[in-house]
Chain A
Amino acid sequence: ETGVTQTPRHLVMGMTNKKSLKCEQHLGHNAMYWYKQSAKKPLELMFVYNFKEQTENNSVPSRFSPECPNSSHLFLHLHTLQPEDSALYLCASSQVSGNQPQHFGDGTRLSIL
């Protein structure tokens, strides 16, 4: 139990589908993150939310749309994805954004057909 829960754990979708990834943290943190982890590539930061406000968009394509309704929940809405978007998507949280240790969820393994 990491305190950060991601659903679903696995997702297979076609390029024209719309789906959403969900992340919930039970740690009382105020910052949440989305990362993409592809095989043989470094962990890539996608988005940062601090006190529900998006403070970082790391040049992510618009087919990925984040949503943070409150400090405990984070969503990643997916639409018209490409095969190269297949990866492990990790959510993390920290007390506040910046130099704080991050707690990661187990991730969603996404496969695009």
Chain B
Amino acid sequence: GQQVMQIPQYQHVQEGEDFTTYCNSSTTLSNIQWYKQRPGGHPVFLIQLVKSGEVKKQKRLTFQFGEAKKNSSLHITATQTTDVGTYFCAGPGTSYDKVIFGPGTSLSVIP
């Protein structure tokens, strides 16, 4: 069946270092969404990418959608302790109503 994978599963960085998480789908996606879940919190929508090769920025966060629309990445420049959390990508499922979430990348930032 359809799968959405993310790597790495965990990432520990020193504050100020950059961080990247990668999302890969077994099928072509019409769009990709990114969410962030702080420890003890709930997923919060960050952004949606729709176009092939699209790049969007939110302050220190850069989101990219692959040309083939099967992969995506989230890059954080100069991480801060407020970036701690799990980052999920999500894509539409095989049926219209379904959204498939990736397993997430858990980011720890060492002050």
State whether A103 and B31 are in contact (beta carbons under 8 Å apart), knowing that A43-B101, A45-B99 are contacts in the complex: no
Q: State A42–B96 Cα separation when bound (angstroms).
A: 20
State whether A43 and B88 are in contact (beta carbons under 8 Å apart), knowing that A102-B45, A104-B44 are contacts in the complex: yes
- B92 and A105 contact, CB distance less than 8 A: no
**B102 within 8 Å of A by Cβ?**
yes
| A47 (CB) vs chain B CBs: closest residue | B97
| B91 (CB) vs chain A CBs: closest residue | A99
- B97 and A56 contact, CB distance less than 8 A: yes
Chain B contacts with A in 52-111, Cβ cutoff 8 A? 88, 92-93, 95-104
**B43 within 8 Å of A by Cβ?**
yes
Shortest distance between the CB of A87 and any CB in chain B (Å): 13
- B99 and A42 contact, CB distance less than 8 A: no
State whether A97 and B96 are in contact (beta carbons under 8 Å apart), knowing that A42-B104, A43-B88 are contacts in the complex: yes
**B20 within 8 Å of A by Cβ?**
no
**B25 within 8 Å of A by Cβ?**
no
Chain A CB count within 10 A is highest, among B33, B98, B99, for: B99
Chain A residues closer than 8 Å to B27, beta-carbon distance:
none
- A99 and B31 contact, CB distance less than 8 A: yes
Range, interface on chain B: 20 to 34
Contact of B97 among A98, A105, A106 (CB under 8 A): A98
Q: State A92–B93 Cα separation when bound (angstroms).
A: 16
Chain B residues closer than 8 Å to A41, beta-carbon distance:
103
Contact of A42 among B30, B95, B103 (CB under 8 A): B103
State whether A105 and B101 are in contact (beta carbons under 8 Å apart), knowing that A99-B30, A99-B92 are contacts in the complex: no
- B42 and A107 contact, CB distance less than 8 A: yes
**A55 within 8 Å of B by Cβ?**
yes
Shortest distance between the CB of B83 and any CB in chain A (Å): 19
Q: State A73–B93 Cα separation when bound (angstroms).
A: 24
Chain B CB count within 10 A is highest, among A31, A55, A104, for: A104
Chosen A-B contacts, 14 in total, with CB atoms closer than 8 Å, are A31-B97, A43-B101, A48-B98, A92-B43, A97-B96, A98-B97, A99-B30, A99-B48, A101-B45, A102-B33, A103-B45, A104-B44, A106-B41, A107-B42
